[in-house]
Amino acid sequence: MFSFAKNKKTVELYPYVRRICDLTTPNLATTVTGRSEDRFNRALPTLLCPWDDGAPIKEEMTICLTSDLSDRGVRVILNQPLRHEQVVLGYWLQSVEMVEPWYFLGDVRHIQRLGGGYWAIGTQLIEFANKRYGRKLSELNHTAAQLLPPKEAPC
């Protein structure tokens, strides 16, 4: 049986959800932000490891979530503040092209407290790090394997 009351409640929530979307527009127009490149919204599990003196600080490595990326930058969401100027970001997608994780060295440019115990970290990418630091970064591969989706369905 069709319920008009249920349908009305659903219709009434639309403007509120739409307003949340409007207020949290992740990618403002480039004319508003002054950015020269486009950002692409993605939700990707990401390995984040602080970098100091040409090496990863493995003890502080964590998994976070990329919220958007561009040609030269990445925004990740962390559940803790970050106190380092450089980081390595690692990605490992289930793809023929990615037989191993891809690591990028970046300079932290922006830290924003979001609320609820989360921080947004804006990082300017400066180097594809696999070529130059492959041996040092291979020590992160075991943790980076957690970025891959499980082989079996969880249910």
pTM over 0.85: no
Task: Give the DSSP H/E element, type plus range, for residue 8.
Answer: helix 4-23
Task: Measure the N-to-C terminal CA separation of the chain; round to a whole number of Å.
Answer: 31
Q: Give the span between the Cα atoms of 82 and 97, in whole angstroms.
A: 31
Going from N- to C-terminal start, the domains of the chain cover 35-147
pLDDT tens sequence for the chain (155 residues): 555 556 666 677 777 777 767 766 665 555 555 555 677 888 899 999 999 999 999 999 999 999 998 888 999 999 999 999 999 999 998 888 889 999 999 999 999 999 999 999 999 999 999 999 999 999 999 999 999 988 876 66
Write down the architecture of domain 35-147 according to CATH.
Answer: Beta Barrel (2.40)
Q: 89: how many CB neighbours lie within 10 A of its CB?
A: 25
Which of 44, 51, 91 minimizes the C-alpha distance to 67?
Answer: 44
Q: Give the span between the Cα atoms of 108 and 113, in whole angstroms.
A: 14
- What is the token pair recorded at 47? 């390995």
DSSP state of 101: -
